C-alpha cells in the first residue's frame, strides 16, 4: 500500500509542482508578494497530496512565532521544507548558494527572498547572508534555518554549522527551536513514504546574547528532543 500511495503522490504532486514553477516566472516579474502567493499555493497543494494520497497527518505542539524571529529546525525530509512555508508567515529560508544560483529557479527563489549561504565563502559570504537576513527582518519575516546544514536520518545528530551562530550573534533575535520526526515516515532519498503522523514541536524561544557554545548547545539539544 505504501508503494501505491507513494506512486500516486508522485503522479499528482510533481506535475503540480511543474505548474507552480511555470506560474512563478511571470509572478516574479510582478514582485515578491506575487511569488509568495504562488509559493503558498504550491505548499497548500503539497499538504493536500501528503494528507490525502500518502495519509500523512501533522501534530503541532507549541506555537509558531509571528514576526521577525530566527527559527532553527531539525531537518529530516523534504516534508518540513515545504510545510514550513505554511506554518510560518512568509519565511525567508536560508539555503545553499548553489540552489539560489540555479538558472531560472534561482532567480525566482531570490525574488521570493531566500537567504543564500556560501559555506566556503568566509567573512564576505557571512556579510552577504546578514544583509539578506536584515532585509527580511525589515519586512517582519521570520528567518528559517536548518542549522545542521542538511537532511539527516532519524537518530543522526550532527553538530550545527558555524553560520548559524554567526547569524544568531549578528541579528540579535530570539531563536525558536523546532523539533520534528518526519524522517520516520518520509525517509530522505527514498521514493516510498509511509502514512502516519509527523510531530512538530515549536519550543520556547531562546533569548539573544548567549555565547556560541551556549547557543549551539541549547539549540542542538532542543531540535533533537524527538530524536532520543
The residues, any chain, with a CB within 8 Å of residue 90's CB and separated by 6 or more, are: 36, 113, 139, 141, 142
Query: Range with the lowest mean pLDDT among 120-124, 135-139, 144-148, 149-153?
Result: 120-124
User: 38 in a domain, yes or no?
Assistant: no
Percent of the chain with pLDDT strictly greater than 70: 97
User: 219 in a domain, yes or no?
Assistant: yes
Query: Reduced to 3 DSSP states, what percent helix, strand and coil does the chain have, rounded to the nearest 5?
Result: 50, 15, 35
Query: pLDDT, tens digit, for every residue of 70-116?
Result: 999 999 999 999 999 999 999 999 988 777 777 777 788 888 888 88
Query: pLDDT, tens digit, for every residue of 208-223?
Result: 999 999 999 999 999 9
pTM of the model: 0.93
Give the whole-angstrom CA distance, residue 152 versus residue 43: 22
- The number of domains in the chain is 1
Give the three cell numbers for residue 141: 519575516
User: 48 in a domain, yes or no?
Assistant: no
User: 26 in a domain, yes or no?
Assistant: no
Q: Residue 228 pLDDT > 90, yes or no?
A: no
Give the whole-angstrom CA distance, residue 27 versus residue 22: 9
Strand partners for 177: 72
Which domain range does residue 145 map to?
56-223
User: 29 in a domain, yes or no?
Assistant: no
User: 176 in a domain, yes or no?
Assistant: yes
User: 65 in a domain, yes or no?
Assistant: yes
Give the whole-angstrom CA distance, residue 187 versus residue 171: 33
Tell me if 201 sits within 8 A of 71, measured CB to CB: no
**What are the φ/ψ torsions at residue 31 (nearest 5 degrees)?**
125, 175
78-87 and 32-49 are packed helices; what angle lies between their axes, rounded to 10 degrees? Answer: 120
User: 215 in a domain, yes or no?
Assistant: yes
Amino acid at each position: 500500500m505504501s508503494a501505491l500511495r507513494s506512486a500516486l503522490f508522485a503522479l499528482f504532486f510533481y506535475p503540480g509542482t511543474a505548474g507552480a514553477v511555470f506560474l512563478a516566472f511571470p509572478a516574479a516579474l510582478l514582485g515578491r508578494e506575487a511569488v509568495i502567493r504562488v509559493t503558498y499555493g504550491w505548499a497548500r497543494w503539497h499538504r493536500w497530496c501528503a494528507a490525502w494520497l500518502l495519509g500523512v497527518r501533522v501534530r503541532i505542539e507549541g506555537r509558531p512565532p509571528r514576526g521577525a524571529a530566527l527559527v532553527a529546525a531539525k531537518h529530516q525530509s523534504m516534508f518540513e521544507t515545504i510545510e514550513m512555508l505554511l506554518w510560518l508567515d512568509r519565511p525567508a529560508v536560508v539555503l545553499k548558494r548553489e540552489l539560489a544560483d540555479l538558472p531560472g529557479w534561482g532567480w525566482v527563489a531570490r525574488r521570493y527572498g531566500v537567504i543564500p549561504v556560501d559555506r566556503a565563502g568566509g567573512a564576505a559570504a557571512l556579510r552577504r547572508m546578514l544583509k539578506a537576513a536584515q532585509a527580511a527582518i525589515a519586512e517582519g519575516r521570520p528567518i528559517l534555518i536548518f542549522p545542521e546544514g542538511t537532511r539527516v536520518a532519524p537518530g543522526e545528530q550532527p553538530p550545527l554549522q558555524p553560520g548559524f551562530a554567526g547569524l544568531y550573534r549578528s541579528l540579535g533575535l530570539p531563536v525558536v527551536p523546532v523539533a520534528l520526526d518526519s524522517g520516520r515516515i518520509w525517509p530522505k532519498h527514498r521514493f516510498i513514504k509511509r502514512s502516519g503522523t509527523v510531530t512538530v514541536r515549536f519550543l520556547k524561544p531562546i533569548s539573544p546574547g548567549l555565547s556560541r557554545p551556549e547557543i549551539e548547545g541549547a539549540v542542538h539539544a532542543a531540535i533533537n528532543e524527538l530524536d532520543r
